[in-house]
Structure 1
Amino acid sequence: MTQVLAARAGKITPEMEMVASQENLDVKIVQAGVATGKIVIPRNVKRKHFNPCGIGQGLRVKVNALIGTSSDRDEKEMELKKLATAEAAGCDAVMDLSTGGDIDGMRRLTLEKANIPVGSVPIYQAAIEAIAKRGSIVAMTADDMFAAVEKQAADGVDFMAIHSALNFEVIKRLQTTGRVTDIVSRGGAFLTGWMLYNQKENPLYEQFDRLLAILKAYDVTLSLGDAIRPGSIADSLDGAQLQGMIIAGELVARAQAAGVQVMVEGPGHVPMHHVEATILLQKRLCHDAPYFILGTLATDVAPGYDHITSAIGGAIAGAAGADFICYVTPAEHLGLPTEEDVKEGVIAARIAAHAADLARGDKRAWERNWQMARARVAVDLDRQLSLAIDGERLKQVAQGYGHEHQHCAVCGSECAAAIAAKYFGI
């Protein structure tokens, strides 16, 4: 029985209890959210020992990290180090996006080592294997696609990005919008090429019930991949994106009716004044399903700093109702990230998520900020270290700027905050 069906039957699962404890909420609130599809708890029935999390309405905004091998860099140990780095930096989930080398082996290692939910994109493996077995991606069959989903579900993957909300209606709309970047989604590009070459509908859309049956059997959370998300600021909120949102909403309703947990991905590159409208549209069209944002990058002109551009957009998106932020690293648009890039990406996304939690009125977020402010007034560096999102970084900076005596080098012992506090206490 899936989490959704259990919740609708009035049952409280151990996963719901764990999420309620993590969020300091009454478990019945979590149960009601899962029952209505406003909360998902990614946890494959095959996985046993890890820390699940809840994603959705009324919960803390979560952060996702990415790892995976490629044809250019097939180093499992390096990817496992990046997994450990991401977890240590505080991410809530991770996706294995391997497209090269021993894809099955990398995924199984990730599932074995990860202490958090693990996601994947099955079309990547199906497409890469089609090249090896059949000579090209366009020679891939529908059965190849569903076999990849089934295999990864059987391995224990907790959530899957699957580009079912892409059909010929969306492609037709895309062909008339005059986009600058056309398709930047790798899965979307694979499927669009396959559809146009074979002149066949997307099997992941056309045979959606077949897909739902596999996911339901393992209680895999469906993450509806945004195949035509805008890849540049100029393309934000164009007709193709809106058409994709409409199709996604129809599929969310079908997944929820079938008892499959579902969230929705998007939106890519979005200028700040479009962010709130995008989130509100997505939530409205997709029945308040949790929203998993990829980005959101607020400008196109900062390569090397895209962890910052995405944190700006991500904070606004989270405040507007997005529930799950996929990190972006400094290596975005440039290459595969290093361990340090992974840490920077997770921390930037966590800052955005925390800022969003504050805007959403999360009591724990506000309490943490209050405690940090009091620690600064008290010139209590140890307390600040414990409250900081990245205490290790704070310690390094503090040492570099001469904080050996529990005060900063700007004011020295005559700290402005401490002096004011002293006399206010008279």
Structure 2
Amino acid sequence: NFLVKINANIGNSAVLSSIDDEVEKMRWSIKCGSDTVMDLSTGKNIHATREWIIRNSPVPIGTVPIYQALEKVGGKAEDLTWEIFRDTLIEQAEQGVDYFTIHAGVRLPYIPMTAKRTTGIVSRGGSILAKWCLAHHEESFLYTRFRDICEVMAAYDVSFSLGDGLRPGSIADANDEAQFAELETLGELTKIAWEYDCQVMIEG
């Protein structure tokens, strides 16, 4: 009944990777009052871990699909492709994930704006996309293929959480041009998502 909702982040890593542990974390998160849970797994058995979390969760489950897409290319951001990302979206949507964090506001022109920051790009998703953009000298495929992403989201009734990949990591970097440039883009992308009847949350 509260206007504020609480999300808990869980997930395995390359150091610790246990399906039982992640399900247990999810159970405790909900016992402590979490309204949603995000599986941010980056270790082994990502698909199976997510499967068991979804099966056992009474609350919505979210993910950051770029994490699994990165795992599929051996952790090399520059090797990511639209096709790999799209297949990952569909794979996770078919499992029953409720919402995806998509860092589509991290655009090539905004990356140089972070060069003089004290703490740089602190978002993992944001840094992955920034590395890809700089390696290819191209606009992010999350931005250029956003309508295609909307079609997948609409087909599977998955909600957007538009990620703030250029959020500041310190007071020194707060309210800079990179942060506001991305936020403006996220507003534009929200209107596009609405054209497809997709629900949208904006991080930040």
TM-score (normalised: structure 1): 0.47
Q: Which amino acid aligns with 1:261?
A: Q
Partner of 1:94: 37
Q: Say which SS state the counterpart of residue 131 (structure 1) adopts.
A: coil
Displacement of 1:194: 0.9
For residues 113 and 168 of structure 2, the distance between their equivalents in structure 1, rounded to whole angstroms, comes to 13
Aligned pairs (5 A) from 1:260-339 = 260-266=198-204
Q: Which residue in 2 is equivalent to 1:201? A: 139
Deviation at 1:173, TM superposition (A): 2.6
Matched residues in 2 for 1:85 and 1:203: separation? 37
Distance 1:232 1:172 in 2: 18
Return 5+ residue gaps in structure 2 as ranges.
Answer: none
**Which consecutive unaligned segments of at least 5 residues does structure 1 have?**
1-22, 24-58, 267-426
1:156-205 C-alpha deviation (Å, 9 max, x unpaired): 00011010111112213323xx2111111111111111110111211010
User: How many residue pairs align between the two structures?
Assistant: 204
Q: Report what 1:83 is aligned to.
A: 26
Q: Residue deviations 1:100-119, cap 9 Å, x none?
A: 11000001011001010000
Partner of 2:73: helix, strand, or coil? helix
Equivalent residue for 2:86, pick from 146, 156, 181: 146
Distance in 1, matches of 2:108 and 2:139, equals 7
Output the CA distance in 1 between the equivalents of 2:138 and 2:107: 9
SS of the residue 1:201 aligns to: coil
Aligned to 1:183: 121
Tell which has more relative contact order, 1 or 2 (C-alpha 8 A, sep 6+): 2
Q: Residue 263 of structure 1 aligns to a residue in which SS?
A: strand
Does structure 1 residue 160 correspond to structure 2 residue 100? yes
SS in structure 1 of the partner of residue 169 of structure 2: coil
Distance 2:141 2:80 in 1: 11
Q: CA deviation at 1:80?
A: 1.2
Amino acid at match of 1:72: V
User: Aligned partners of 2:90 and 2:110: how far apart in 1?
Assistant: 26
Hey, what does 2:64 align to over in structure 1?
A: 121
User: Runs ≥4 in structure 1, deviation > 3 angstroms?
Assistant: none
The one-letter amino acid of 1:199's match is: H
Matched residues in 2 for 1:207 and 1:172: separation? 22
Contact kept in structure 2, 1:128 and 1:137, CA below 8 Å: no
Matches within 5 A, 1:214-225: 214-225=152-163
Q: Specify the alignment match of 2:52 in structure 1.
A: 109
Report the Cα distance in structure 2 between the residues aligned to 1:226 and 1:94, rounded to whole angstroms. Answer: 18
Separation of aligned partners in 1, 2:171 and 2:114 = 16
The one-letter amino acid of 1:246's match is E
Q: Which residue of 2 aligns with 1:405?
A: none
Distance of 2:22 and 2:102 partners within structure 1: 23
Given that residues 188 and 226 in structure 1 are in contact (C-alpha distance below 8 angstroms), is that contact kept between their aligned partners in structure 2? yes
Rounded to whole Å, the distance in 2 between the matches of 1:150 and 1:189 is 23
Q: Tell me the C-alpha RMSD between the 2 structures.
A: 1.1
**Helix, strand or coil for the counterpart of 1:250?**
helix
Q: Is the 8 A contact 1:173 1:243 kept in 2?
A: no
Secondary structure of 1:160's partner? Answer: strand
* Aligned equivalent of 1:297: none
Aligned to 1:174: 114
Counterpart Cα distance in 2 of 1:142 and 1:243: 23
